[in-house]
Amino acid sequence: MVDHLVFYAIDRLSRQRHDYSIIHALLAGLGVRFDCVTQPIDDTPTGKLMEGIYSVIAQFDNDMRAERTRVGMRAAAQSGRWKHKPPLGYLNGPPGGSSSILDPDRAPLIRQAFELYSTRRYAKSEVLRQVTSLGLRTRQGRKVSSQPLNSLLKNPIYIGRIVKPKRGGPH
């Protein structure tokens, strides 16, 4: 049975004030004592006040990070830049320049993969073998494996179609 929970800071336990309160209430109801290494909290009125303040600050910090991320992603999208790492075969253009550019090393090989696969004469494994032998590599210089090639061949971005994920759904 756990009777004592030691954690570095409240935001290491939870960055959501409500979640922290629920965790604390459930564990306290089971007789578990909380001990925060860097923030003075205890069962005194002042300790409880500080605990509440720390949990609100953790949520505020988390909310501010999320807002900065949304603003940055929106700005990237409005400038035509990828919000995340561009798909294999594309690169982000220079700041202030073109929004995205074809990767001169990988784009021709990816085009060839699509062309080979579209003939229906080659299995994906053979397409992969051929483009790998021609030099297709990941950005880290490793060989592309079958699963990323399969995802690449199914990705609608390569036919010029951008699919916006549903909010709250898979990304």
- Total-model pTM: 0.54
Distance CA 51, CA 39 (A): 8
15 CB neighbour count, 10 Å cutoff: 19
Distances (CA, A) of 158 to 11, 78, 100: 41, 20, 13
pLDDT computed for residue 102 by the predictor: 86
Dihedral of the alpha carbons of 12, 17, 21, 23, in degrees to the nearest 10: -40
Encode pLDDT of 57-110 as tens digits.
Answer: 999 999 999 999 888 878 877 776 666 778 888 887 766 555 678 899 999 999
101 SS3 class: strand
Give yes or no for a contact between 149 and 113, defined as CB atoms under 8 angstroms apart. Answer: yes
Q: How many CA atoms lie within 13 A of 132 on its CB side?
A: 13
Burial 99-124 (b: 16+ CB within 10 A, else e): eeeebeebebbbeebeebbeeeebee
Percent of the chain beyond pLDDT 70? 88
Encode pLDDT of 120-171 as tens digits.
Answer: 999 999 999 999 999 999 989 999 999 989 998 998 888 877 666 666 555 4
Distance CA 119, CA 139 (A): 27
What is the DSSP code (8-state) at residue 95? T
User: C-alpha 72: how far from its chain's center?
Assistant: 14
